[in-house]
Amino acid sequence: MKPIVAVSTPIGVGAISIVRMSGDGCLNIATKVFSCKEKIEPRRVILGTFHFNNINEKCLLVYFKAPHSYTGEDIVEFQCHGGEFLTKEVLNALIKNGASLAENGEFTKRAFLNGKVSLDSAEGIIDVINAGTEAELKAGYNLMSGKLLTEVKTLQSSIVDAIANLDMTLDYPEHDDEAETLLTTKKTISDVLKKLRELLSTSSAGKLIKNGITVAIVGKPNVGKSSLLNALLGEERAIVTDIEGTTRDTITETIIYKNIKINFIDTAGVRESDNIVEKIGIDRSYRSINSADIVLVVLDSSSELTEDDKKLLDLTKDKKRIIILNKMDKQKKLDINEKYILISAKDGKNIEQVKEEIFNSFDGGNIDISGLILTNVRHIEALSKAKEIAEKALDSCDNSTTDIISFLLKELWVELGKITGETETESIIDAIFSKFCLGK
C-alpha cells in the first residue's frame, strides 16, 4: 500500500519524538532525506543525519522489513530530538518526498488488513494505550494478546465441525445416522452456549473496570456535599461556604480506589428556588441522580429532617444509594430508620468507609483481573447476539429440520466472526480504527 507517515509520539516539547512511515517504498523516501555511513539493515538502529531545508538533524533510523513489522509492511521510524517545530519539519519532508499523512489508527488498520492482528486484539491495543488503572491495563493486555481471539476461534471451529456433520446428513442421507448426528450437534451447541454464558458473565465486572462507578453526591443546600467531595478527593476542589446554594453547577472528579475508577459528581443543593441560575443547577442535580450508578444522599446530622430531605429520600428510594449523615462533630439531632454512615466531611472522619461502601456495593472486591474480562461493548453485543442464536439453534435440535439447524449455526459463526473482524462490515472497521490516536 502507498506509504503513510505520522508523528507517533505526542505533539509538544519532549526529549525525543518518533516519526513513523509505513508502506511500499518508504525506505526509498527515507534515504532521500537521511544519510548515514552504515548500511541500513532491518531491526538495527542507525545513526545518521536528516537533511531538509537548512536543517541537519542528527537522529536515529530504524527499518523494519515487511512482513516483520507492526503493520506487516516496510516501516521506517525516525527518532529525532523532541520539539514541535522540528518534528513537523521532519514530517513535512517525508510528505514532500512522497508519503501521505496517515489517518487516525491507519497503522493498526493496515496491521489488521495484513493479518497481523485481529480486530479484537487491535481494540486491546487501544485499551492498553488508554488504560488508567492496572485493571484496565490487564484487561487490555489480555485482549491484545489474543485471549478472546483464542476463545472465539475454538468456538468457531467446533461450530464448523457441527455444520460439516449436519451438511453430510443432508447431502448423503444414506451414509449417515441422522439421529446420532443430531445428538452430537446438540452437545456441541450446549457446550458453545455454556462458554458464551461464562464469557458474558464477566461483562458487569468489565463495565466496572472500563467505566468505573459514577456517584452523585446529593442533598439540600449546606449539608456539606462539596466538603464531602473535597474530603473524598483529598484536595480543595469545590468551593465550600456557609451560604446556601454555593454550588451552582455540577463538578465531576475521579479517584482510583482499589483499582476501580470512582467518578464523583458534586451537585447543586436541591430546594425550591426562584433564582434562574440555581434552578438550572438543581435541574442538573436531578439529572445526575438519574444517570449515576449510585447516589450519596447527604443529610445534616445536627438538624432535624426537613421537607427537602424527605423529598430527596423519596426520590432516591428505588436507586442504589448510601445515606450519609454529615457533621458528626456537632450534637446529633437526626435519626433515621435506615442504614447510614456517620461522617464529618470537615474533619475527614469516616471518609474511607464511604469509599469502601461504594466499592462493596458493586462487588469491587470480587473481580479477578488476571482472567479474561469483557470490557468492550462491541464484543459484549456480538456475544449476546451469538448466545441468542445458539439458544435458538439448541431449541431447533428438538423441533426443526437439519437444514434450519445448519443455517442457524452458520449465522452463529458469522456473529462470532464479528469479534475477530473476519465478518465485520467495512464501515464498522473504519469506525473502530478512527478511535485510535494519530500515529498508531
Ligand X SMILES: Nc1nc2c(ncn2[C@@H]2O[C@H](COP(=O)(O)OP(=O)(O)OP(=O)(O)O)[C@@H](O)[C@H]2O)c(=O)[nH]1
The per-residue DSSP string of 259-323 comes to: TEEEEEEE-PPPS----HHHHHHHHHHHHHHHH-SEEEEEEETTS---HHHHHHHHHTTTS-EEE
For the four alpha carbons of 67, 68, 70 and 76, in that order, the dihedral sign comes to negative
What's the min distance (Å) between Cβ of 353 and Mg ion?
21
Cβ proximity of 65 and 399 under 8 Å: no
Task: Work out whether 245 is an interface residue with ligand X (CB under 6 A).
Answer: yes
Taking the C-alpha atoms of residue 102 and residue 75, their distance in angstroms, rounded to an integer, is 13
135: nearest Cα among 371, 348, 340: 371
Q: Which three cell numbers stand for residue 194?
A: 455454556
Cβ proximity of 339 and 323 under 8 Å: yes
Question: Please, which residue, 9 or 303, has the CB nearer to ligand X?
Answer: 303
Question: Interacting stretch for ligand X, rule CB under 6 A, among 124-132, 140-148, 224-232, 373-381?
Answer: 224-232
Among 344, 375, 376, 420, binds ligand X (CB under 6 A): 344
What's the min distance (Å) between Cβ of 240 and ligand X?
4
Task: Work out whether 289 is an interface residue with ligand X (CB under 6 A).
Answer: no
Question: Interacting stretch for ligand X, rule CB under 6 A, among 54-62, 215-223, 252-260, 305-313?
Answer: 215-223
Among 108, 226, 376, 420, binds Mg ion (CB under 5 A): 226
Amino acid (one-letter) located at 24 = D
Footprint of Mg ion on residues 232-291 (CB under 5 A)?
246-247
What's the min distance (Å) between Cβ of 15 and Mg ion?
43
What's the min distance (Å) between Cβ of 251 and Mg ion?
8
Task: Work out whether 244 is an interface residue with ligand X (CB under 6 A).
Answer: yes
Query: Could you report how far apart the first and last alpha carbons of the chain are, in Å?
Result: 17
Task: Work out whether 225 is an interface residue with ligand X (CB under 6 A).
Answer: yes
3-state DSSP assignment of residue 199: helix
Task: Work out whether 350 is an interface residue with ligand X (CB under 6 A).
Answer: no
Binding to Mg ion by CB under 5 A, coded x per residue (else -) over 374-403, reads ------------------------------
Q: Which residues bind ligand X (CB under 6 A)?
A: 219, 221-227, 240-242, 244-247, 268-269, 326-327, 329-330, 344-346
